[in-house]
């Protein structure tokens, strides 16, 4: 091969449109003078400027993007050296490459083996025959048999044999939505000094936590309970819903008064005190803050004490459930104390 042929072959290798031009051209540039490189750089830059005026948007391959990102790291003025793309585009390519790198590095070593059809059938049988078992319980039973299955896999096959939960409004959502229209009632048993039974009956408004009515009796019959509801709903005042439990004290008379007042009775399930949680919580407060510190002698004393406590509860006691508000707090009722003195207490345990 003649020298002229080698010269033409070298020129073809170093042309910008060949695959080997980048490597060969870079090696050749090492032996060239700085003046020649600056002149060639200016010549190439001017050609790029001319091309950018007439050429449509170029299409970049993945290898082109990776190479431009790597080259930009070696040039301090890489932003000024870009002509056919914007600096933001190059930065976006760098972020995408970083994400691909971490995706590759975080990949699992090997795919998880699929469980056999026999194990799937066993999981479904356990879920179908034992409705109270959760995924963790079934996982424990499988471990006893020497079978290791992850919790998510068990949950996936459990959903195939167990009916989905209803998507309708649940009890908690209903109470939150209609709290302003709901009252709740319940009985609080009390034992006097001679171990005789007394019963206190309360009606409370869910939204404001305000106690609507309190009554005390030794014989809580249906007629007496109905009379308490009649007194609480006098003058046309009443809720849309009234929550009560399945106590036999709520009979036909109580239901008749509720129907007359256009109140819908909501009966809680058996052994579900949380269904009437606000009223149950209030009864607990009555015991802890009042009755646990007193000896009850008779019915009149209990009625007097509970009336005083209800007045304190409605007009002076902050409630966490309503953001430390007071049920019947009036504007301008906050008193600022000076000198650090204790406020006078009007409600005593002996009242």
Q: Give Cα 176 distance to the centre of its chain.
A: 16
| Tokens representing residue 200 in the block | 């206190």
Cα–Cα distance, 76 to 66 (Å, whole number): 18
Orientation angle between helical segments 252-260 and 222-232, nearest 10 degrees: 20
Q: Which residue has the higher pLDDT, 216 or 88?
A: 216
CA angle 341, 346, 347 (to 5 degrees): 120
Cβ–Cβ < 8 Å for 347, 309? yes
> Among residues of the chain, what percentage have pLDDT more than 90?
45
Task: Please count the residues of the chain.
Answer: 351
The stretches of 166-276 forming alpha helices (DSSP H) are: 171-177, 222-232, 252-260
Cα–Cα distance, 270 to 245 (Å, whole number): 8
pLDDT value at 12 more than 60: no
Mean pLDDT score across all residues of the chain:
82
* Per-residue model confidence as pLDDT tens digits over 265-306: 999 988 887 899 999 999 999 999 999 999 999 999 999 999
pLDDT tier for residue 343 given thresholds of 50, 70 and 90? very low
SS3 50: helix
């Amino acid at each position: 091969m003649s020298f002229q042929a080698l010269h033409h072959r070298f020129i073809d290798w170093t042309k910008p449109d060949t695959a080997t031009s980048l490597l060969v051209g870079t090696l050749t540039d090492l032996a060239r003078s700085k003046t020649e490189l600056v002149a060639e750089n200016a010549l190439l830059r001017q050609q790029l400027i001319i091309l950018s005026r007439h050429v449509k948007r170029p299409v970049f391959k993945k290898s082109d993007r990776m190479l431009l990102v790597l080259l930009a790291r070696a040039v301090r003025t890489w932003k000024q050296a870009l002509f056919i793309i914007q600096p933001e585009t190059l930065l976006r390519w760098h972020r995408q490459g970083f994400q691909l790198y971490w995706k590759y590095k975080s990949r699992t070593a090997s795919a998880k083996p699929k469980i056999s059809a026999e194990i799937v059938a066993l999981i479904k049988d356990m879920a179908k025959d034992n409705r109270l078992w959760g995924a963790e319980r079934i996982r424990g039973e499988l471990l006893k048999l020497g079978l290791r299955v992850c919790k998510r896999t068990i949950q996936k096959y459990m959903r195939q044999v167990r009916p989905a939960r209803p998507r309708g409004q649940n009890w908690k959502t209903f109470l939150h939505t209609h709290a302003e229209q709901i009252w709740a009632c319940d009985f609080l048993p009390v034992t006097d000094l001679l171990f005789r039974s007394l019963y206190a009956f309360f009606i409370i408004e869910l939204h404001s936590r305000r106690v609507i009515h309190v009554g005390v009796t030794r014989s809580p019959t249906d007629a007496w309970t109905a009379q308490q509801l009649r007194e609480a709903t006098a003058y046309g005042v009443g809720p849309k819903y009234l929550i009560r439990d399945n106590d036999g004290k709520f009979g036909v008379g109580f239901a008749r008064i509720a129907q007359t007042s256009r109140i819908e009775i909501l009966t809680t399930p058996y052994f579900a005190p949380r269904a009437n949680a606000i009223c149950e919580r209030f009864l607990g407060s009555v015991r802890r803050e009042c009755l646990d510190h007193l000896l009850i002698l008779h019915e009149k004393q209990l009625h007097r004490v509970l009336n005083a406590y209800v007045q304190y509860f409605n007009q002076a006691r902050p409630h966490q459930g309503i953001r430390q508000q007071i049920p019947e707090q009036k504007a301008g009722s906050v008193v600022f104390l000076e000198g650090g003195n204790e406020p006078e207490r009007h409600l005593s345990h002996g009242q």
